[in-house]
């Protein structure tokens, strides 16, 4: 079997309401690039990568010169062809490789009649638990959803999600408002859902001192971990040294060199494994096994997925022996998906592992065309244009946290 063609299509799929992010961002839709890898035996594998537009499509199709005629079962050879781990371009090509690897794993599963999780050693669980992933949101005029800013509004939003999806873990995406506000919101969530665990992620917007202060204010809650409270391995190590709860990251440990440094220096407790950031499902799985060896915590990270990438997250979550935390997913914020049958369903806070061979999902070509046209109409979104936070990058110092690292 040989690869006969590669196709990349950029799409944009609306969210129920615009999500707000610490780095001045807000967006009401996701832009993704869907990858289809064709073989000379008629099988088609599916992949997905974040972002899109002409640059992403060109990057994917630019791989044709390396991969036309390549055996999709030869994944290690493909990794070297695309990423060349000894070269300086290694990190720049990780997400490109991830999307193509997803598609080749999909082909392998379809060719052998096995699920991708079976190719990685077999599933340890058939259902993967997820956290609620709560964002501060702007209100969407069309859907009527969103508008959450206060603790009361966020608790109401969480109650609605629990009723719909059964979440037992609540993750708050913080950093949009001052740290005191996030503390009040997280405490309100913990009080409203006393049996649930909670986690807070400001996307590394805080200083070390602010992060230490926040951790001490929420130390009595049922915390899974404090995720990326500050930036860099050095900053994360300083925070970890001074707070009474685990820390977690998806930003500063996304390859094996960083993982080795993290473990050697005891910089972060929990590694959040992303199937795209790590350069593929197999790379994330191997990282999980390294963490198992050193008894380091892991969880499955979300980078704004549609159904194809969600399937990779489910297969990863199914095979990791040391998975002890609910996974993250933006998925419930989407209004639609590109896979046949529509969006996957949550039951009791979990999503079932697909049962069909390969990744277990099929592309709805009509939806692909619809959301490709929507992307052509709307174009890419501007990432850092939150109208209420135009100066987000110029945070003013606060004396309240100045002595906390002593």
Give 54-108 pLDDT, tens digit per residue: 788 888 988 899 999 999 999 999 999 888 766 544 456 889 999 999 999 999 9
Report the pLDDT averaged over residues 5-10: 96
pLDDT-derived band at 405 (thresholds 50, 70, 90) equals very low
Using CA atoms, how far residue 233 sits from 195, 247, 263, in Å, is 32, 11, 11
Q: Is 173 a catalytic residue?
A: yes
3-116+364-378 CATH fold:
Enolase-like; domain 1 (3.30.390)
In the predicted structure, residue 118 carries a pLDDT above the cut 70: yes
In the predicted structure, residue 384 carries a pLDDT above the cut 50: yes
In the predicted structure, residue 403 carries a pLDDT above the cut 50: no
The least confident of 13-27, 103-117, 138-152, 248-262 is: 13-27
Cα gap 66→331, rounded to integer Å: 33
pLDDT-derived band at 396 (thresholds 50, 70, 90) equals low
pLDDT value of position 24: 77
In the predicted structure, residue 181 carries a pLDDT above the cut 80: yes
DSSP-assigned letters across all residues of 292-332: HHTT-EEEE--SS--HHHHHHHHHHHHH-TTB-SPBP-SGG
pLDDT value of position 387: 80
- Among residues 26, 170, 301, 367, the one annotated as catalytic is 301
Look over the chain and give the mean of its residue pLDDT values, rounded to a whole number.
93
For the chain, the domains span: 3-116+364-378, 118-352
Report the pLDDT averaged over residues 303-329: 97
- Identify which of 256, 250, 277, 271 has the alpha carbon closest to the alpha carbon of residue 98: 277
Could you read off the pLDDT of 334-353 as tens digits, one per residue? 999 999 999 999 999 999 99
Two domains, one topology: 3-116+364-378 and 118-352? no
pLDDT value of position 389: 81
pLDDT-derived band at 404 (thresholds 50, 70, 90) equals very low
In the predicted structure, residue 50 carries a pLDDT above the cut 50: yes
Cα gap 18→283, rounded to integer Å: 32
Cα gap 12→304, rounded to integer Å: 11
pLDDT value of position 88: 47
- Among residues 26, 110, 157, 173, the one annotated as catalytic is 173
Report the pLDDT averaged over residues 376-399: 73
Tell me if the domain spanning 118-352 has CATH number 3.20.20.120.
Answer: yes
pLDDT value of position 87: 59
Could you read off the pLDDT of 13-22 as tens digits, one per residue? 999 999 999 9
Q: Is 114 a catalytic residue?
A: no
């Amino acid at each position: 079997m040989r690869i006969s063609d590669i196709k990349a299509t950029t799409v944009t799929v609306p969210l129920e309401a615009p999500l707000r992010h610490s780095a001045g961002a807000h967006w009401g839709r996701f832009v993704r690039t869907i990858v289809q890898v064709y073989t000379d035996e008629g099988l088609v594998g599916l992949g997905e990568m974040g972002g899109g537009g002409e640059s992403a499509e060109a990057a994917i199709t630019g791989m044709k010169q390396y991969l036309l005629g390549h055996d999709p079962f030869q994944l290690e050879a493909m990794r070297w062809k695309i990423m060349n781990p000894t070269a300086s371009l290694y990190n720049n090509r990780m997400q490109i490789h991830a999307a193509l690897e997803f598609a080749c794993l999909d082909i392998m599963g379809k060719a052998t009649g096995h699920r991708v999780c079976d190719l990685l050693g077999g599933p340890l669980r058939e259902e993967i638990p997820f956290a609620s992933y709560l964002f501060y949101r702007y209100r969407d005029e069309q859907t009527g959803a969103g508008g959450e800013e206060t603790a009361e509004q966020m608790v109401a939003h969480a109650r609605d999600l629990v009723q719909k999806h059964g979440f037992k873990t609540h993750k708050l995406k913080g950093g949009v408002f001052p740290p005191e506000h996030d503390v009040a919101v997280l405490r309100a969530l913990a009080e409203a859902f006393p049996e649930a665990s909670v986690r807070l992620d400001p996307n590394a917007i805080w200083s070390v001192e602010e992060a230490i202060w926040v951790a001490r204010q929420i130390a009595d809650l049922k915390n899974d971990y404090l995720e990326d409270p500050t930036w860099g391995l050095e900053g994360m190590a300083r925070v970890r040294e001074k707070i009474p709860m685990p820390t977690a990251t998806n930003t500063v440990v996304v390859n094996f060199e960083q993982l080795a440094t993290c473990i050697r220096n005891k910089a972060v407790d929990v590694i959040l494994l992303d199937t795209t950031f790590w350069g593929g499902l197999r790379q994330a799985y191997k990282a999980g096994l390294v963490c198992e060896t050193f008894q380091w915590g892991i969880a499955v990270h979300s980078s704004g997925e549609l159904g194809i990438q969600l399937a990779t997250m489910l297969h990863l979550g199914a095979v990791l022996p040391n998975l002890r935390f609910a996974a993250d997913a933006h998925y419930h914020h989407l209004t639609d998906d590109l896979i046949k049958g529509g969006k996957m369903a949550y039951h009791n806070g979990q999503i079932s592992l697909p049962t069909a061979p390969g990744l277990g999902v099929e592309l709805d070509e009509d939806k692909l065309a619809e959301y490709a046209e929507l992307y052509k109409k709307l174009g890419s979104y501007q990432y850092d244009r939150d109208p209420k936070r135009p100066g987000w990058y110029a945070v003013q110092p606060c004396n309240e946290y100045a002595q906390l690292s002593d």
